């Protein structure tokens, strides 16, 4: 097994998306010495608590993203797009491409293609295109091309339509504890009145862990063209 240190770039539509859906795996890789980078295309500020200024909540969300990443020894990036208003254009795709070329991830994690939230579904397509743009030297940008070899789509309760767990990645108690501690720094995770985020994702990690015959796990989908198990016999 290679001792190469990995870089993982997790891209969500909002601050908190990747932290919830793939944070256990990110924490696990962090404890192994791998580099973790989170990118949120928006801060997710439209979930502002009643009575709080949305601009101030945006600053709070960016700070929460930074705290989470720092606890995992990593880096957080938050774009300036408004929550609910991510544009479906080439500009944002090339901005994500530029992050990929700077960070040079081995692995990218992002949203599944179907979602009740327009930002999630659009982010899926933006990241897929950005990964392609980042890989080709003929797309001339400030930095040289980089190909992220692995792409995974995380399990999110809002992105559940046609999501079928394909890859299970398990993690231990230390990673679980680090993840939950860091996740608790996000106000909405512990204070939301509309959905019990912390309870749901803690329980889901246990359920996927049971299915994987481990203590904890998170499940991911992959692109259909990569669903190929190669073997020389049936046994």
Which pLDDT score is estimated for 235? Answer: 82
Mean pLDDT of 122-149: 98
| Percent residues over pLDDT 70 in the chain | 99
pTM of the model: 0.96
Which pLDDT score is estimated for 2? Answer: 57
Q: Is pLDDT above 70 for 1?
A: no
What is the CATH code of the structural domain delimited by 7-226? 3.40.50.10320
**Sign of torsion, CA 64 67 73 76?**
positive
Q: What is the pLDDT of residues 157-204, one digit of tens each?
A: 999 999 999 999 999 999 999 999 999 999 999 999 999 999 999 999
3-state secondary structure 141-168: CCCCCCCCCEEEEECCHHHCCCCCCCEE
3-state secondary structure of 29: helix
Q: What is the pLDDT of residues 51-94, one digit of tens each?
A: 999 999 999 999 999 999 999 999 999 999 999 999 999 999 99
């Amino acid at each position: 097994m290679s001792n190469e240190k990995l870089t993982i770039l997790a891209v969500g539509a909002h601050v908190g998306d990747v932290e919830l859906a793939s944070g256990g795996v990110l924490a696990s890789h962090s404890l192994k010495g791998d580099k973790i980078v989170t990118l949120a295309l928006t801060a997710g500020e439209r979930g502002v608590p009643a009575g709080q200024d949305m601009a101030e909540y945006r600053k709070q969300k960016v700070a929460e993203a930074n705290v989470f990443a720092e606890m995992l020894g990593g880096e957080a990036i938050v774009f300036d797009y408004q929550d609910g208003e991510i544009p479906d254009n080439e500009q944002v795709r090339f901005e994500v491409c530029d992050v990929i070329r700077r960070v040079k991830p081995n692995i990218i994690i992002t949203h599944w293609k179907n979602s009740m939230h327009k930002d999630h579904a659009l982010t899926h397509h933006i990241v897929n295109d950005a990964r392609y743009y980042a890989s080709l030297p003929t797309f001339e940008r400030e930095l040289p091309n980089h190909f992220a070899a692995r792409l995974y789509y995380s399990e999110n309760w809002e992105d559940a339509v046609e999501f079928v767990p394909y890859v299970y990645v398990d993690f231990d108690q230390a990673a679980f504890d680090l993840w939950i501690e860091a996740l608790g720094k996000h106000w909405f995770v512990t204070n939301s009145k509309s959905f019990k985020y912390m309870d749901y994702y803690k329980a889901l990690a246990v359920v996927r862990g049971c299915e994987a015959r481990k203590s904890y796990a998170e499940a991911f989908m992959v692109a259909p063209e990569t669903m190929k198990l190669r073997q020389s016999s049936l046994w």
